[in-house]
Amino acid sequence: PHASMSLNPAFTVSPVHRRTFGSFVEHLGRCVYTGIHDPSHPTADEDGFRKDVIQLVQDLGVTTVRYPGGNFVSGYRWEDGIGPVEDRPARLDLAWHSTEPNTVGVDEFMRWCRKAGVEPMMAVNLGTRGVQEALDVLEYCNVESGTAWSDLRRANGTAEPHGVRMWCLGNEMDGPWQIGHKTADEYGRLAAETARAMRMVQPDLELVACGSSSSAMPTFGAWESTVLTEAYEFVDYVSAHAYYFEEDGDLASFLASAMNMDAFIDDVVATADAVRAARKLTKRINISFDEWNVWYQHAAPSVPPKDSWPVAPVLLEDHYNVADAVVVGNLLISLLRHSDRVHAASLAQLVNVIAPIMTEPGGRIWRQTTFHPFALTSRYAVGEVLHTELRTPTHETAKFGETPLVDGVATHDPESGAVAVFAVNRSLTEDMTLEVDLRAFEGLRVEEALTLANPDAYARATVDDDETLAPRPNTSAVLEGGTGRITLPPVSWTVLRLV
Ligand code: AHR
């Protein structure tokens, strides 16, 4: 069987937004402590940050990093994490039933971002807190000097403002699990007033209102509509969150998870645009898809035993397989395809907690299977996203009915002329030949083709071997008479690069 796509450099969706390749560091489990921060580690720098982690974060091609939560932020007092470390209080973290030592706080995180070369994206607490505390942390981070909070930052060792542009107005406030959970009306008002006040400090902030925690939330749609009706003129983005996992052995449906993401994005865009029309406004609200990943929500422990409040427990440490990596690659295809309206996204999360990068405390570091499609897409999706006319065989899946067997997207860099095609084969059993009509381009040749696949779709990388399952050269790729041709093995993710 074969699928085909037609590409033309004149038919573009949007520029590739570098923020599509964001990630997320939450004070949760071992993401911060023994993840990015581990003073006992042989590679730790003067701030206690693991340099081997920073190296892999750079290899992953991460652009922005959301911080400090997640559910954690809804009970967080940011000022606990500033000043001399020995004076910082330990607190109960109710979201993850843990003890937060506050060894790492906003100043340390900003230092880590500078070292890793990533842009920080902050979330404020709109669970237990409100407008004033959001203004305080903004003043601490972004005002140069001459005020109480900005001078305190300077006294704490950072003369230059942190200059954080992008701020999330709370986290998953639609979720009943959220500390300080709110109705859409309550949250919409609070988000609007917090955003309005934050803009009084700095008008050019980029502000994200909470959308839905998943498209399966009972309030999905109505929530976005109510919140944006209140907050439309004060915010730039509405968030979307989605986690996928294989259920009941239904691999075929799981591999098609991007169909849910496609529909989710379309529904949020339609809802935001409907509010725009009803309110007679002109600007468009775009999407910050600021949590997405594969997450086996019922597998790894997500809370410690009820009678304990550990520091940095092992939580949400999913161990990903080949199929998970194919889904992650496909979700990136979906995000890129919607680049006209998805302007930022965050793979949740970065280290140890549902993460592409794993560490042993004080010890080794390794890459999960999901690391590779993210790293290669971030590296090669450059320039503009092209409209992709895809013709593909389909099959029936329990969750989605008629489901395309091949999915893909392509980018074109007008500067270098490079074309990159990202594609998945969702068939469990059959090779697919993908034909790419490239006659509208001149002088291309196949530069490289890499495929992530394995006869065992459930094979996993390990701390001892994170190389065997890395993408391998796909030698089937050819370009003849303006048509590129490549064989995609079953359950696989591929990048085909032409220059
Ligand atoms: O990423 C893990 C958790 O998932 C986050 O804390 C929360 O926002 C979401 O429910």
Q: Single out the residue in 380, 406, 434 at which a domain terminates.
A: 380
Q: Single out the residue in 356, 380, 404 at which a domain terminates.
A: 380
* Closest CA to ligand 1's atom 6: 70
DSSP 17: P
**Pair 100, 201 in one domain:** yes
**Pair 244, 340 in one domain:** yes
So what's the pLDDT on residue 303?
82
**Pair 396, 453 in one domain:** yes
Residue 346 Cα to ligand 1 middle (Å): 12
In the predicted structure, residue 80 carries a pLDDT above the cut 70: yes
Nearest to 153 by CA among 217, 224, 79: 79
Rounded to 10 degrees, the C-alpha dihedral 492/493/498/499 comes to -150
In the predicted structure, residue 299 carries a pLDDT above the cut 80: no
So what's the pLDDT on residue 424?
98
Measured from the CB, is residue 174 less than 6 Å from ligand 1? no
* Closest CA to ligand 1's atom 4: 70
How many structural domains comprise the chain? Answer: 2
- CA distances to 66, 173, 219 from 231, rounded to whole Å, are 21, 14, 17
User: pLDDT digits over 145-187, tens only?
Assistant: 999 999 999 999 999 999 999 999 999 999 999 999 999 999 9
Measured from the CB, is residue 125 less than 6 Å from ligand 1? no
Catalytic residues: 172, 291
Report which secondary-structure segment, H or E, holds 498.
strand 492-498
> pTM score, two decimals?
0.98
**Pair 229, 285 in one domain:** yes
In the predicted structure, residue 488 carries a pLDDT above the cut 90: yes
Q: What is the CATH number of the domain that holds 435?
A: 2.60.40.1180
**Pair 102, 162 in one domain:** yes
Report which secondary-structure segment, H or E, holds 225.
helix 222-231
* Closest CA to ligand 1's atom 7: 70
**Pair 25, 92 in one domain:** yes
CB–CB of 408/333 below 8 Å? Answer: yes
When pLDDT is cut at 50, 70 and 90, the band that residue 300 belongs to is low
Ligand 1 atom closest to the Cα of residue 348 is 1
Burial profile 210-244: b = 16 or more Cβ within 10 angstroms, e = fewer: bbbbbbebebbbebbbbbbbbbbebbbbbbbbbbb
Q: Which residues contact 480 (CB under 8 A, 6 or more apart)?
A: none
**Pair 294, 418 in one domain:** no
Distance separating alpha carbons of residues 171 and 92, to the nearest angstrom: 18
| Domain, as residue range, for 429 | 4-8+386-498
SS3 at position 95: coil
**Pair 364, 436 in one domain:** no
Measured from the CB, is residue 70 less than 6 Å from ligand 1? yes
**Pair 400, 345 in one domain:** no
Q: Single out the residue in 337, 365, 380 at which a domain terminates.
A: 380
- Complex confidence, ipTM: 0.99
Let me know the angle formed at the C-alpha of 435 by 429 and 440, rounded to the nearest 5 degrees: 160
Measured from the CB, is residue 93 less than 6 Å from ligand 1? no
So what's the pLDDT on residue 304?
86
Instruction: Kindly state the tokens that stand for 289.
Output: 């898809």
Asked if the peptide bond before residue 481 counts as cis, ω within 30 degrees of 0, the response is no
Residue 344 Cα to ligand 1 middle (Å): 17
So what's the pLDDT on residue 338?
98
Measured from the CB, is residue 139 less than 6 Å from ligand 1? no
- CA distances to 12, 122, 183, 325 from 128, rounded to whole Å, are 44, 17, 14, 37
In this structure, what are the phi and psi dihedrals at residue 490, rounded to the nearest 5 degrees? -55, 145
DSSP string for 264-275: HHHHHHHHHHHH
**Pair 413, 445 in one domain:** yes
Residue 291 Cα to ligand 1 middle (Å): 7
Ligand 1 atom closest to the Cα of residue 213 is 10
Ligand 1 atom closest to the Cα of residue 69 is 6
* Closest CA to ligand 1's atom 2: 70
User: pLDDT digits over 194-235, tens only?
Assistant: 999 999 999 999 999 999 999 999 999 999 999 999 999 999
Measured from the CB, is residue 355 less than 6 Å from ligand 1? no
Q: What is the CATH number of the domain that holds 49?
A: 3.20.20.80
**Pair 227, 376 in one domain:** yes
Average pLDDT, the chain: 97
* Closest CA to ligand 1's atom 3: 70
**Pair 245, 302 in one domain:** yes
- What is the share, in percent, of the chain residues with pLDDT greater than 70? 100
So what's the pLDDT on residue 301?
72
User: pLDDT digits over 242-270, tens only?
Assistant: 999 999 999 999 999 999 999 999 999 99
Average of pLDDT values for 344-359? 98
Residue 439 Cα to ligand 1 middle (Å): 45
